[in-house]
């Protein structure tokens, strides 16, 4: 392995991050490129990825490259079947990259990679069974049972965000309605805050110049920090729904710990306390089992790179 490096890559709808990841899960020599987005050409997304890998490796030989992709990856880890924010459809990315980079390449979904990273080096370290719930604009996730990330028949296991929690509820971009992520996500947080602003005074009215459509997630987070009641209620609702959905997952999968990552998780206990309360309230047999703790992810935006690199170990 003299001088050889393992590079982990996280490719999402707006950017590709690459970094050299060592055995301890430490990232060095990070590199970043923008991705062309859904309307781009497949070759451009591939080019951005290859450039980021080569910049990160900085001339050192590659032992292997792991890729965490924000999309559906086939069970064999060879192809990106569909990615909502990238131009790939059934793209044989693993083979294409192996040819261009001249080293082994392994591929998985970004939430699966983040779960692997948190299980080895982060909030779920030492847990054999864990749930990872990623709260960004929507909800993604992954299931780790007995030390393995579940991939499923289509590689689609862990897509929790579109479990129906409210029959006939809020319309979802997926075409269905009442999906969990319509009630518990960054988008839900903002929607709650906008609705509550119409009924109660809030610092958000000032911050947004009186235009609720300008309110965004970071504004709600900052307002909650300042003690704004509208922002705090918006978080309480999203946290409560987080706990309700989590109770269903815990009933089905019985994990030791639930790790919540993604942008919204930066709110910490403001989000997690109401989730813990709702989990205890709604979980079957809560009085007769060890209810799993709900904790914030600890690796932040580097989890994808770290977990991608773990594919090679
Ligand atoms: Zn949906």
pLDDT at 155: 85
Burial 42-81 (b: 16+ CB within 10 A, else e): beebbbbbbebbbbbbeeeebbbbbbbbbbbbbeebbbbb
Q: What are the pLDDT digits (tens) for 221-255? A: 999 999 999 999 999 999 999 999 999 999 999 99
Residue 12 has pLDDT above 80, yes or no: yes
pLDDT at 27: 98
Average pLDDT over residues 204-213: 95
What is the whole-number distance in angstroms between the Cα of residue 171 and the centre of ligand 1? 8
Residue 32 has pLDDT above 80, yes or no: yes
- Helix or strand holding residue 219 (H, E): helix 217-225
C-alpha span between 76 and 119 (Å, rounded): 22
Q: What are the pLDDT digits (tens) for 126-179? A: 999 999 999 988 899 999 998 899 988 888 899 899 999 999 999 998 899 999
What is the whole-number distance in angstroms between the Cα of residue 50 and the centre of ligand 1? 32
What is the whole-number distance in angstroms between the Cα of residue 231 and the centre of ligand 1? 24
pLDDT at 1: 47
What is the whole-number distance in angstroms between the Cα of residue 152 and the centre of ligand 1? 19
Q: What is the mean pLDDT of the chain?
A: 94
Ligand 1 (single-atom ion) residues, CB below 5 Å: 162, 172, 174, 176, 179
| Closest to 60 (Cα-Cα) out of 91, 101, 100, 9 | 101
pLDDT at 2: 56
What pTM value is reported for the model? Answer: 0.90
What is the whole-number distance in angstroms between the Cα of residue 135 and the centre of ligand 1? 14
Residue 125 has pLDDT above 50, yes or no: yes
């Amino acid at each position: 392995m003299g001088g050889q490096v393992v590079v982990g890559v996280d490719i999402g709808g707006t950017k590709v991050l690459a970094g050299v990841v060592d055995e301890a899960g430490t990232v060095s020599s990070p590199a970043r490129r923008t991705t062309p987005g859904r309307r781009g050409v497949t070759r451009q997304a591939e080019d951005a990825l290859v450039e980021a890998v080569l910049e990160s490796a900085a001339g050192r030989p590659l032992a292997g490259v792991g890729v965490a992709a924000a999309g559906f990856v086939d069970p064999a880890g060879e192809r990106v079947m569909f990615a909502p924010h990238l131009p790939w459809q059934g793209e044989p990315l693993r083979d294409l990259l192996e040819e261009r980079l001249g080293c082994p390449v392994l591929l998985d979904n970004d939430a699966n990679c983040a779960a692997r990273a948190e299980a080895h080096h982060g909030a779920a370290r030492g847990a054999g069974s864990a749930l990872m719930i990623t709260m960004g604009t929507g909800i993604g996730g992954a299931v780790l049972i007995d030390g393995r990330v579940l991939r499923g028949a289509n590689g689609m296991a862990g897509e929790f965000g579109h479990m129906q929690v409210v029959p006939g509820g809020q319309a979802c971009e997926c075409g269905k309605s009442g999906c969990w992520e319509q009630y518990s996500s960054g988008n839900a947080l903002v929607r709650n805050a906008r609705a509550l602003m119409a009924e109660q005074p809030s610092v958000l009215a000032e911050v947004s110049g009186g235009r609720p459509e300008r309110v965004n997630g970071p504004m709600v987070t900052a307002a909650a920090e300042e003690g704004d009641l509208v922002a705090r209620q918006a978080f309480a609702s999203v946290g409560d729904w987080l706990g309700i959905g989590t109770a269903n997952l815990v009933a089905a999968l019985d994990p030791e710990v639930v790790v919540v990552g993604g942008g919204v998780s930066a709110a910490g206990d403001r989000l997690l306390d109401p989730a813990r309360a709702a989990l205890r309230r709604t979980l079957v047999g809560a009085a007769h089992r060890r209810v799993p703790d709900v904790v914030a992810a600890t690796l932040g935006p580097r989890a994808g790179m770290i977990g991608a690199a773990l594919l090679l170990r």
